[in-house]
Structure 1
Amino acid sequence: MRSPLPAHRPSSRGDILASTLALARGGATISLESAARAAGVTKPGLMYHFPTKEVLMVAVVDHLMDSYEDALGRRLPAADRGEPTLQARLLAYLDWICDGHFDSGDLVMFADPRLRERLAATWNERLGALVGIPADAPPERRARLHGVRLIADGLWFNAAAGGLPLSERDRAEVRELGHRLVEERS
C-alpha cells in the first residue's frame, strides 16, 4: 500500500530564509504570516523552524551575511584564502561593495524598529569578524583602515537605500583612494 502524499511540500529553513529575504527586497512588511505565505508553508510549518519573528529575522540577517561572506571569500587572492590578513579582507570588502548591486533587502536589519537593536548586534558581530579594526593597531593605521571601512559602508548603504548613484569613473576613483589608504600610499 502506498503512503499518502504530503499535504504540502516539505519546508526547508533555507527556502524560508530566501523567501523572507525576497519579501524584504520587495519592500513588504515581514511577519510570520507573510513569511510563511512567501515560502509556501503554513505558519506552524514556519514556526517549527522559527518560533518567533525575532528568531526568523536574526536567521535572515545571518543568511544575508553568509552570502556576503561567500562573495567576499571569492574576492580574496588565492594566497589569502586560508587566513586572510585584515588588509586583504578590507580590500575585498571595498572591491565587492564597489562592484556590487544592493537594494532595500540588504537593509533588513533596519526593517522592524522593535528588532533593530538585536538585528544590528548580529550584523555588527558578523561584519566585525570580517572587517573589524584591531584596537592595538597604531593610531594613524587605525584611522586609515576605519576610513576605508566607512567608505565601503557608505557606498553599500547609499546603494541599498537608493541614494545618489556614483558614475563608474567616480566609483573607480573612490576604490583607488581606498586602496591607497589601506596600502599606505597616500
Structure 2
Amino acid sequence: MAAYQIAVIVGSLRQESLNGKFADALVRLARPEFSFKRVQIGDLPLYNQDDDKNQAASVKRLKAEISAAHGVLFVTPEYNRSIPGVLKNAIDHGSRPYGQSVWQGKPAGIIGVSVGAIGTALAQQHLRNILAYLDMPTLGQPEAFVHAGEGLFDAEGKIGPASKEFVQKWLDRYLDWVIKQAA
C-alpha cells in the first residue's frame, strides 16, 4: 500500500472533460509511494444548511474520503472566470457543519487545463481564496495554467512530450509539498 493517499477532485462533471482526462494522465506520472482516489462530486445534493444534522450518504462518503487522504489535488476548469458550481458545492459540504470541516490542514494542489489562452488562472485564484479560508495549506509555486493545445495528450491519453516535463515538475513539487506537510 502506498504511504500517501491523495484525494483527486475534478471540477467538471462532463463525461469527456479535459480536466478529467488530465487528472487521469497526471496521476500516471506519480511516484509509487502515492496512491490517488478520484472523489465523486456529481451526486452531492445542493448544499442546504438545514441538512447539516442529517447529511446525505453521498456527503458522508465525500467527507470520509477527504478525511482519509493526506492531501487533496484539485483539477478544475474555469467557468465564467471562476470555479464551477459543482466544485463549490462539494467544498461547502465538506466544510459543514461549522467547526467540522474535513478540509482543514489538508495540503492542496491546484491545476487545471483549458482551451483558453489564460488557462484556468482566474478559477485557480478564486479557489486559492476559498482554500485559504478553509485553512488548507496550498502549494503556491509553481503555478500551472495548462493550455489544451495540440499534443497535450498522446495517443494513449498520457501527457504528451511537449508538456510532460512541465507537468512532471509541477506534480513532483506538489507531492514533495504533501510529504513536507505530513512531517
- TM-score normalised over the length of structure 2: 0.31
Q: Which has the larger radius of gyration?
A: 1
The structure in which a higher percent of residues are helix is 1
- TM-score normalised over the length of structure 1: 0.30
